Structure 1
């Protein structure tokens, strides 16, 4: 089952992000906890890390905090060496697109092969600008 993060205005989808399976999002957050939070999830990045990945949302006021957290995470992951991709679908996308990860930041992609952190940051900016929540579906 896939995790889709999106911003809706009334019944119209404004922007969305398919992060892959729930297990891919869990792996992403587990890596952040291990690499950047000394194995203690939420100690540095509570908005990202402590939010349930089940049905729910990041409210517009949480998006400002989330934006700051994502900037720090992106900066720090770019300074760490790459690792092997977590899922077979990711390996397939990387091969198809000819991507070569240069750092750990590059090792987390969405279903289109774009960096998760980049896509999530754009989604957060859309939510902040429109004052709408990011929904978990």
Structure 2
């Protein structure tokens, strides 16, 4: 079972993102903790991403504004970190299929379509903000 994030307007999906397994999303957050929050408590620096349940609920559109700032910080930080074998192993087949060049930790995180996970999350936040809609966890 995987994590799917979506924005709906009147029962119609505006945008959706299939993250992958819950374990993969957990590894994403573990890396945020290790490289961004390592000297603080879980969720002190990126509370919108880190403190939300990974399997239920929603991010309200107003939370997406803060999450975009957090994701931009994550992107900048991950681009300076070495690739992570554990992350690569989670998506090895997709990385090979889409011939993705992994140069840093940022490149390691992809969605099920081979697109960068962080960029797709930023895009999803923008759509939620622009339409004043929530991102729903499914």
TM-score, scaled to structure 1:
0.95
Which structure 1 segments of 5+ residues have no match? none
Taking the TM superposition and a 5 Å limit, the aligned residue runs for 1:116-135 are: 116-135=117-136
After TM superposition, give the deviation of residue 86 of structure 1 in Å. 3.0
SS at match of 1:105: helix
Distance in 2 (CA, whole Å) between partners of 1:86 and 1:70 is 18
1:4 corresponds to:
4
Size of the aligned set, in residue pairs, is 137
1:55 corresponds to:
56
After TM superposition, give the deviation of residue 85 of structure 1 in Å. 4.7
2:35 corresponds to:
35
Distance in 2 (CA, whole Å) between partners of 1:73 and 1:31 is 9
Q: CA RMSD in A?
A: 1.3
> Is the 1:78–1:103 contact (alpha carbons within 8 Å) kept by the matching residues of 2?
yes
SS at match of 1:86: helix
Distance in 1 (CA, whole Å) between partners of 2:23 and 2:7 is 22
TM-score, scaled to structure 2:
0.94
